[in-house]
Amino acid sequence: MSQLSILFVTSEMAPWVKTGGLGDVSAALPAALHKAGHDVRVLIPNYPALQAAFPQARLAAQLPALAPGLPPARLLSAETAGLPLLLLDCPELYGNAGNPYLDDHGHDRQDNPIRFGLLSRIAALLGQAHSPIDWQANVVHVNDWQSAMAPVYLHFEGGSASVVTVHNIAFMGCFGHEYLASLGLPQHAWRFDGVEFHGQLSFLKAGLQFATRISTVSPTYAREIQDEHFGYGLAPLMRHRESALRGILNGIDTEIWNPSTDPELVSHYAANRLAAKRKNKSALQEEMGLEVADDVTLFGVISRLTHQKGLDLLLTIQDGMAALPMQLAVLGSGERDLEAGFSALAKRYPGKIAVKLGFDEALAHRIEAGADCFLMPSRFEPCGLNQMYSLRYGTPPIVRATGGLADTVVDVSEETLANMTANGFVLRDDTPHAMWLAMERVCRSRPDKRQWLRIQQNGMRRDFSWKQAAHDYISLYRDAISARELER
Ligand code: ADP
C-alpha cells in the first residue's frame, strides 16, 4: 500500500501541553501512524513549553500575513522520537505560558479566533499546491474546533482531502461575524449550510460542514451526536453527514500506562501477578491520609470536575457512602462549586474520603494502581481514557452507558462472567440511587476473590493499544482522499 502524507493538526500534545484526552491522542496517534510507515507531520502552535522542549528547532519557512486579521508567522521544524513536528511560531499569539485556551483568570483568551484561525489557515496551506515547505499533505487531519477551519479553506481555495475529528462536540468555537473577513473567508461562506451557526461563526460547525470525512472517538458517540440530546444543536448536520461519519475508538499509550513497568508505582504487577497490586493500595491510602486497610473498598476518581463528568452524583449520596465499607480518593480540578463540594466532603469524613485538587500526572498513575474500583459516571463521554487506564490497571470501573464508556466497559452479569467479557459495572439508570447501588454492588462483589480476579483479568487482557485505531484512521484517510478526488 502506498505511503500517505498526513498532516496531523492539534492545539495540544502530551507531555508538553495537555488539558485533556486530545493531548494524549496527539502524542499517540501520529506516533502510531509514523510507526506504520506513513509520512506524518504534526502541526502545533509553538507554545512556551514547546520552545523549551525544542530549543534547536530549525526555521522551515517564513509565512506572510495570509488574511487581514492574521499576523505573519514562522514554521519551525523539530523531531520527537523520529516523528517530525512543525511548530507554528508567532510569539504575539502563542507566547503566553499556562492553559492553551484560557487566560490566568480562567476566561477564554480574547484572541482565540485569531490564534486558532491562524493554526487552521497554515494547516490548509500545507495541504495546498503552494505549500511553503518542500512537502504537501494529501490529507489534513484536524482536531476539535481549534483547527476545524482548515477544511473550510481547503474547500473554498482547493487543496487536499480533510478529516475532522470531534473529541467533544460541546466545544464549538463560536465567534462574531466580523472574523469571517479577518480570517480571509469569502462572504458567501456565511450560510446556514456554511460557516454560520445561530448568528455566529462556529469553527467546529464549519469544519463539520466542509471536511471530506468526519470521525469521533468512539462508535457509540458517533451515533449519539446525531441525537438532539448529545448533539448540542449540531445533530441535524451530523445526520445530514452520516455517510461521511465514523467512530474510531481511541487507543491508550500502553507503555506509559503499564502496571508492570510504571515508575510511579511502589509495586509492579500484571494480570497473572495481581497480588502485588495490594501494596499500591496501602501506599495510596498512606499518601492520601486514608486509613490503611485492605478490607474496605477504595474507589478512585481522576477527573476534570465539570458537569459532564457526573461526579456531582457522589455529593448527593454522602450519607449512603458513609454507610458502606468504602473509601474514596479523588484527584481533580475544575468548577468551583464542585471543588468546594469535594473539599467539604473530605473534611466531613477524614480518613475515609480524601480529595486532592489540582492536576497531578504522577498521582493519577498511583490512583489507577492503588484503587480497587474507578468511578466515571459521565453524562456523556466521547471516548474517555481513564476507564481504559483503569481496565489495564486491574481497577474495574463503574460507568454510565454512554459514548466510549459503553464501547469499553462490559457490565458484570452471569452471561458476561461466563463468556469472559465482564470487566466493570454499568449504571442501570441515571439517578444518584443507581450510583449508590453500583458502589454497593462492588463492595459486595469484591470479597468473592475468584470472581473479582476474573473481572480484573478480563479488563487487563483486552488490547487497548493504538495499533487498531491507527489502522482504522489510515483507511479513513484513504477513503477521504478518494472522495476528494471524485469532487474534483
Ligand atoms: P477528558 O479529555 O474529557 O478530560 P479523558 O478521560 O478522555 O477525559 O482524559 C482525561 C485525561 O486527563 C486522562 O489522561 C486523565 O488521567 C487526565 N486527568 C484529568 N484530570 C486530571 C488531574 N486532575 N490530574 C492528572 N490527570 C488528570
Q: Note the pLDDT tens digit of each residue in 78-87.
A: 999 999 999 9
27-44 average pLDDT score: 96
**pLDDT, average across residues 4-15:** 97
What span, in angstroms and rounded, lies between the C-alpha atoms of 214 and 238? 9
Q: Is 21 in the pocket of ligand 1 (CB under 6 A)?
A: yes
Round to whole Å and give the CA distance between 192 and 217: 26
Name the one residue in this structure whose C-alpha cell is 467512530.
Answer: 247
Return the pLDDT at 291: 98
**How far away, in angstroms, is 218 Cα from ligand 1 center?**
17
At 420-476, the pLDDT tens digits run 999 999 997 889 999 999 999 999 999 999 999 999 999 999 999 999 999 999 999
Residue 20: pLDDT band (50, 70, 90) is confident
Instruction: Please say if the pLDDT value at position 278 is more than 70.
Output: yes
Task: Name the residue among 145, 212, 214, 149 with its Cα closest to residue 180.
Answer: 149
The minimum-distance atom of ligand 1 relative to the CA of 167 is 2
User: Separation of 140 CA from ligand 1 center, angstroms?
Assistant: 26
Q: What is the pLDDT of residue 417?
A: 97
Nearest ligand 1 atom to alpha carbon 381: 3
What confidence tens digit (pLDDT) does each residue in 304-351 have? Answer: 999 999 999 999 999 999 999 999 999 999 999 999 999 999 999 999
Q: Is the pLDDT of residue 218 over 70?
A: yes
Residues contacting residue 40 through CB under 8 Å, at least 6 positions apart: 4, 5, 6, 7, 8, 30, 33, 34, 83, 84
Contact 183, 149 (CB under 8 A): yes
The greatest distance separating any two alpha carbons of the chain, rounded to the nearest whole angstrom, comes to: 67
Cα separation, 220 vs 223, in Å, equals 5
d(CA 47, CA 18): 12
pLDDT at residue number 94: 98
Predicted TM-score (pTM) of this structure: 0.92
Q: DSSP labels for 410-430?
A: -B--HHHHHTT---BEE-SSS
| pLDDT more than 90, % of the chain | 95
Residue located nearest, by CA, to atom 15 of ligand 1: 386
pLDDT of amino acid 232 = 87
Q: How confident is the model at residue 21 (pLDDT cuts 50, 70, 90)?
A: confident
Residue 1 has pLDDT above 70, yes or no: no
Q: Is 385 in the pocket of ligand 1 (CB under 6 A)?
A: yes
What pLDDT, on a 0 to 100 scale, did the predictor assign at position 143?
98
Phi, psi of 76 (to 5 degrees): -110, 150
Residue having the nearest C-alpha atom to atom 9 of ligand 1 = 21
CB 45: neighbour CB atoms within 10 A? 25
For position 420, what pLDDT does the model report? 96
How high is the pLDDT of residue 487?
87
Q: What is the mean pLDDT of the chain?
A: 96
CA 269 to centroid of ligand 1, rounded, Å: 23
pLDDT at 253: 86
E strand or H helix at 320: helix 318-322
432 upstream amide cis, omega within 30 of 0? no
Beta carbon of 386 within 6 Å of any ligand 1 atom: yes
Atom number in ligand 1 closest to CA 364: 25
Quick check: 427 and 398 in contact, CB under 8 A? yes
What percentage of residues in the chain have a pLDDT greater than 70? 100
Per-residue pLDDT averaged across 361-384, rounded?
97
Among 302, 342, 380, 407, name the best residue to mutate to test ligand 1's pocket (greatest count of ligand atoms within 8 A of Cβ): 302
pLDDT range class, residue 488, cuts 50, 70, 90: confident
Q: How many CB atoms lie within 10 A of CB 350?
A: 11
For residue 5, the number of C-alpha atoms closer than 13 Å in the C-beta half-sphere is 11
Please report the pLDDT score of residue 225 as a whole number: 95
Rg (CA), the chain: 23
